[in-house]
Amino acid sequence: MLSKKTKYGLKALAYIARREDDTPSQVGEIAKSERIPQKFLESILLTLRKAGILGSKKGKHGGYYLRKTPSEILMTEVMRVLEGPIAMVPCVSLNFYEKCDDCPDENLCSVHKLMIQVRDSTLNVFRNTTLEDLSGKETGSDFIK
């Protein structure tokens, strides 16, 4: 199940991507528009800034902005930052692999085989979906500042 952190993060990123002008989005306006608790949103946006997806500007006209165009931000990157590993079990994770304690042989494990298919299908969707797709707004090639 998708965590609230990830759901809110995706909603906030889509909000920022839909902006008509170049001004940064303020936390309060995003929280109000998307019905996200402001304190929780502040933490999420900070995580996205630390990961390099967002930039921030301080001051009266400050806020958060995308560091790349929406068409360059893949859902694989966003999901890994907000949700962690994409795989449902560690033995099929590409970036966070761990052997399962209760499985003597991954090659014979029916759960392993199923979860590889689930992982691959999920990765296919995330790799082929950008923030632009999520926001419903087509953008040019210039960075949003």
Beta-carbon contacts of residue 43 (< 8 Å; ≥ 6 apart): none
Whether 56 is in a domain gets the answer yes
Residue 42, domain member (yes or no) = yes
pLDDT digits over 84-135, tens only?
A: 988 899 999 988 898 988 888 888 998 999 999 999 999 999 999 999 999 9
The helix/strand/coil state of 56 is strand
Say which CATH number the domain at 16 has: 1.10.10.10
Tell me what percent of the residues of the chain surpass a pLDDT of 90.
68
Q: Where in the sequence is the domain holding 64, given as residue range(s)?
A: 4-70
In a domain, 51, yes or no: yes
3-state SS, residue 59:
coil
Judged against a pLDDT cut of 90, whether residue 5 lies above it is answered with yes
Counting the structural domains of the chain, the total is 1
Residue 40 domain-assigned (yes or no): yes
Q: How far apart are CA 100 and CA 112, in angstroms?
A: 10
Sole residue written with tokens 């528009």? 33
Query: What's the CA gap between 19 and 143, in Å, rounded?
Result: 12
